[in-house]
Chains A and B, each alone.
Chain A
Amino acid sequence: MNADMITELRKGNNMTVEIKESRETLLSIRDLHVWYELRRFGFGRAGYVKAVDNVSFELAEGETVAVVGESGCGKSSLMKTILGLNIPTSGEVVFDGKNLAQLKASELRDYRFEIGYVQQDPYGALPPFMTVQQILEEPLIISGVKNKEERLERIRKAMDEVKLHPSDDFLPKFPHMLSGGQQQRIVIARAMILQPRLIVADEPVSMLDASVRVEILKLMRALQEKYHLSVIYITHDLSTVKYFSARIFVMYAGNLIEKADTRQLLDNPLHPYTTALLAATSDPDAHNADSYKEVPPGEPPSLANPPKGCRFHPRCSKIINGLCDEKEPVEFEPVPEHFVACWLYQPK
């Protein structure tokens, strides 16, 4: 099947989705474990770094979800596994009914045409020796768009979508000639140019200035709505989440510890770690300077040797001795559609 046919089919798909307003599952992650082997002197196994441990969730067509967590919590490993760059240790990634592990190399390539990746550092993500035109043309060439006119046409359209006009002024430029916001637009245009169904955005605005940040978030939001895209937005900044995502997953030390609708989670956080994250997020207010913030002691655990039981228990102020430090918490649903992996919410 050539790329144009895929595009045609996809257009058809999108239309039916819009008409039916249905929420079909696009991506489903089941019991995913991504462990990296630790080697001793190049031989033998010294253990595993359990970067992603027992993660399950489903993402519907057109749904936006934010994965929130600190550096080293495994969110990048999760993302890379979804992009097909990591092979899961166990568990499955199922995209549109197809299990990633069972795809052949060529099918995996086609799969990658269906997902767009927006990197964190736009300057690092754009090859410095290629012009904007070459950067945007490459995915089209690889996906088999043979007609040069058509390629140029699609590049112009993509640049129009990310509001870089006039596009002809930008086409011959190199990345270093663009501002940070413009570079990030090119990255988004590149992710969008093959008309993917899923976008994975890894901290897309954390390297940008405050005044540009909102502009890029709004642009991504508009594209998401226009094309009914599914988006996984990876971030550590809780204050930007509500402008972009319908659901939030909180990740700590390789586990998803809380999953809920954005509004519900921001208003009623359940897990003590989520509460701490929200308390540590400042809004600009001169009165902040008058008081100290409450921060849980210590640092996230090493993923090579995570603590027994709940991984947050050594830092948790609400620890139940004999339970939290012994048994790994299971997922409870104290409020409908609000899941939390914490023993505090065990039904009595």
Chain B
Amino acid sequence: MTTTSEKLLNIENLVLHFKTSGGSVQAVDGVDFELGTNRAVVILGESGCGKTSLSKALLRLLPRNVDKYSGKVFLQNQDVMLLNDEEYRQNVRWVGISLVPQAAMNALNPVLKVGDQVAEPAMIHLGLSKAEAYGLVYKMFQHVGVPADFVARYPFELSGGMRQRVALAMALVTSPSLIVLDEPTSALDLLTQANIMNVLKRIKHELGTSFILITHDIATSSELADEVAIMYAGQIVENGDAKDFFPAPLHPYSQMLMASVPRLRSDSDPMFITGQPPSLMNPPAGCRFAARCPFRFEKCSQEPPVFQKGNRKVKCWLYQ
């Protein structure tokens, strides 16, 4: 298996299933996508579609009830799935990929000064002294727009937006080539959201970092996206360039999802998708969206392969 050198990340057939008393939950079921250097991909999907599990699978932050965890994840041409847990911890997590978890603002340790918290990954993973690490902390605080004197503050002394910036600084301090952001703006106010998206854009331009942005907020995600991947019931159903996707989504689910976004600057009447996503415990055979799809036909009872349409990919029989 060869991968092109400009690709930073290449995921092939990533699978993460969880064991539960009711059976196996297929949270991530055969996900493929790739990402170039200094690019941002948005993984869009509704709650329960497996997007957070995908971020966990990427960072190998797995709960105890894993049933199946397989596939290939090439990070800079190295298959990190072949590493054992200790090698993964030392060589990949933080230094290769770091994570800004969901509700990152509440993920900070309440009894440690934020400067110490941001310095910690640099001390552990880069082997720096505390003074050296603090040098990096000041630099990162400048990038994310936190005043330097905030290093001596505790998380409760900071507003939500500032805490989110601190969490971002922590993810940046080890200069990883890829940052996974799980719902980075969902708990924030409108103006704070716009601010954080500005910060992410600036970091992307100044530091050349790549991003995987996991969110359900389609409008806000378009602020950062170079590429869009739509996730439905554990699978990626469409993947392509944002400039192609936003004006004309291909997959019926993507089309309906886009049509459901209320817009400020247009009078279009938003639609909604009837029905509910299938249970990931026992997903239907064939296309997983078929039951809610207005375009379904006989073929849809078989699982569609991924069709290439120009440089876009779509998992739907309509594009055979």
- By size class, the interface of chain B is 35 or more
Residue A293 lies at the interface, judged by CB distance under 8 Å to chain B: yes
- By size class, the interface of chain A is 35 or more
List the A side residues contacting B274 at CB < 8 Å: 215
Known: A179-B276, A239-B219, A286-B245. A209 touches B264 (CB 8 A): no
Contact B262 A293 (CB under 8 A): no
Contact B161 A289 (CB under 8 A): no
Residue A102 lies at the interface, judged by CB distance under 8 Å to chain B: no
Minimum CB–CB distance for B22 against chain A, Å? 13
Contact A289 B260 (CB under 8 A): no
Contact B190 A280 (CB under 8 A): yes
Residue A149 lies at the interface, judged by CB distance under 8 Å to chain B: no
Could you tell me the dominant secondary structure of chain A's interface residues?
helix
A140 to B226, CA, bound (A): 54
| Partner-binding segment picked from B70-78, B114-122, B193-201 | B193-201
List the B side residues contacting A211 at CB < 8 Å: 46, 256-257, 260, 272-273
- Interchain Cβ contacts within 8 Å, total number: 119
List the B side residues contacting A181 at CB < 8 Å: 276
Contact A209 B266 (CB under 8 A): no
Query: Out of B198, B202, B245, which one reaches A295, CB within 8 Å?
Result: B198
A284 to B245, CA, bound (A): 10
List the B side residues contacting A286 at CB < 8 Å: 222, 225, 242-243, 245-247
Minimum CB–CB distance for A249 against chain B, Å? 16
List the A side residues contacting B100 at CB < 8 Å: none
A 254-285 binary contact with B (CB < 8 Å = 1; else 0): 00000000000010000000001111111111
List the B side residues contacting A237 at CB < 8 Å: 190, 262
**Smallest Cβ-Cβ distance to A276: which chain B residue:** B191
Residue A19 lies at the interface, judged by CB distance under 8 Å to chain B: no
Known: A243-B262, A266-B264, A286-B246; 15 extra A-B contacts, CB below 8 A, are: A180-B47, A210-B261, A237-B262, A276-B191, A277-B190, A280-B193, A281-B190, A281-B219, A282-B219, A284-B258, A286-B222, A286-B243, A286-B245, A289-B201, A295-B198
Task: List the 5 closest A-B pairs by CB distance, nearest first.
Answer: A280-B194, A215-B272, A70-B189, A211-B273, A286-B242
Between A and B, 7 residue pairs with Cβ closer than 8 Å are A180-B47, A181-B276, A237-B190, A237-B262, A282-B220, A284-B263, A289-B226
